[in-house]
Homo-oligomer: A and B are copies of this chain.
Amino acid sequence: DPAAPVDPAEADDFLRACYAENPRLGPVEPRLAIVRAQIAATGTYVHTPEELGHGAKMAWRNSSRCIGRLYWRSLVVLDRRRARTAEEIFSLLVRHLQVAGGAAPMSRLDATAGPPVERPPGTIRPVISVFAPAVPGRPHASVWNDQLVRYAGYVTEQGRRIGDPRNLAFTRAMEALGWKGKGEAFDILPLAIETPHEGVQLFDLPERAVLEVPVAHPEYGWFAELGIRWHAVPAISNMRLSIGGINYPLAPFNGWYMGTEIGSRNLADADRYDLVPLVARLMRLDTTSESTLWRDRALVEINRAVLWSFERAGVKISDHHTESARFMAHLRNEEKAGRQVPADWSWIVPPLSGGATPVFHRYYHEADLKPNFYLDAPARARAAGCPVAH
């Protein structure tokens, strides 16, 4: 219940873990006393920047569904707790995408992102922007979109689908709020930012915020002509970050893509871009029987195209074999650190060639450890196009 006062036991647990893992923060006892007093007096407390930073990293480390956790220590945490207006939030989300490296080079970016190193665009960095915490019982700012960059979905009068069908309802909700897309296959949706005082407002992402990669295939020339593209930065924007009893309802985060997310799901699922039958036809595969494995063959080529195109464009991406090997390394690291790794098999195992990855061949510890990220029902409903969910 985000309206309830902070649970002092949860604050305690978090602070003890945080300070134990970071000896440079000093002894935890004095801090515990302050926090207990703050909670008793106000129902909540305020994280220091160090607590916020480490708490966010712990939340990533505890994300059972994430295969990419090896680099959890490297998360760039942008403290945006003071932003209030939709304008402010919007410009900080644009910054987020830039710091993540999906666009302008680092040198043009703000100091909280670390030293301004000159980097080519495409060197994606894991970043989280943490906005104001929820105050018990009061409304809070939120972004309706489930990811910062998403493509619109349309149905023509003839019933033909254009764009990403996943976002059909959300696109309609944006249209109801006055937005108008070009009606093409890869129209970037506006950000719908809602604040307690301003209601919901739409913002178009500027070009400098969105790096995209045209998808071509190393061998099949016709692939490029399909006009497929995908954006470089997957940034989930509707999950609540929960640290030590404090909830951050707006805390968008991103990593880099694992190729299968694009090649085996976004471009391939029948209720997404559904490219498998088309690519199979263009590959001239025998589709008269499932047992020719035409689906599997087309799927592998779509995935090859994605990886090859990102690499050619110099945009960071990783394949599922590499990311699986990294996750195995993460399991070893964490075991050495004396921590269990909560993991959800069905999310960790990649959707392509599952059995060929080492992560397939074992069981995992299933647990809901905090800090963590949570998707609340209203947030899910808003991203699904429901404009009245709260």
Question: Which residues from chain A sit less than 8 Å from chain B, CB to CB?
Answer: 259-260, 264-265, 268-269, 276, 290-293, 295-297, 299-300, 303-304, 307-308, 311, 318-319, 321-322, 345-346, 349-356, 360-361
Q: Which chain B residue has the least Cβ–Cβ distance from A300? A: B296
Contact for A264 among B299, B311, B351, B356, CB less than 8 A: B356
Contact A269 B355 (CB under 8 A): yes
Q: Quick one: closest B residue to A311, CB to CB? A: B291
Question: Taking chain A's interface residues, is the majority helix, strand, or loop, or is none over half, making it mixed?
Answer: helix
Within 8 Å by CB of A351, from B260, B295, B355, lies: B355
Given A291-B259, A291-B308: A296 touches B353 (CB 8 Å cut-off)? yes
CA–CA, A307 to B297, complex, Å? 14
Contacts of A352 in B (CB 8 A): 296, 353-355
Shortest distance between the CB of A67 and any CB in chain B (Å):
14
Find the residue from A259, A276, A304, A352 having the highest chain B CB count within 10 A: A352
Q: Chain B residues with Cβ under 8 A from A346's Cβ?
A: 345-346, 349
CB distance from A40 to the nearest CB of B (A): 41
The answer on a CB contact under 8 Å between A290 and B319 is yes
What are 7 of the A-B contact pairs (CB < 8 Å)? A260-B355, A291-B318, A295-B321, A296-B303, A296-B352, A296-B353, A349-B354
Measured CB to CB, the closest approach of chain B to A189, in angstroms, equals 23
| Set of chain B residues within 8 Å of A349, measured between Cβ atoms | 346, 354
Q: Which residues of B contact A296 (CB under 8 A)?
A: 300, 303, 352-353, 356
Please measure, in the bound complex, the distance between the C-alpha atom of A319 and the C-alpha atom of B296, giving whole angstroms. 11
B contact residues around A361 at 8 Å (CB): 269
Q: Establish whether residues B355 and A322, one from each chain, have CB atoms under 8 Å apart when the complex forms.
A: no
Judge whether B259 and A295 touch: CB under 8 Å. Answer: no
Sample of 5 more A-B contacts, CB < 8 Å, known A264-B353, A293-B304, A296-B303: A293-B319, A296-B300, A296-B356, A351-B355, A352-B354
Taking CB as reference atom, which chain B residue is nearest A351? Answer: B355
Contact (A304, B290) CB under 8 Å given A349-B354, A353-B352, A353-B353 = no
Closest to A303 in B: B293
A290 touches B260 (CB 8 A): no
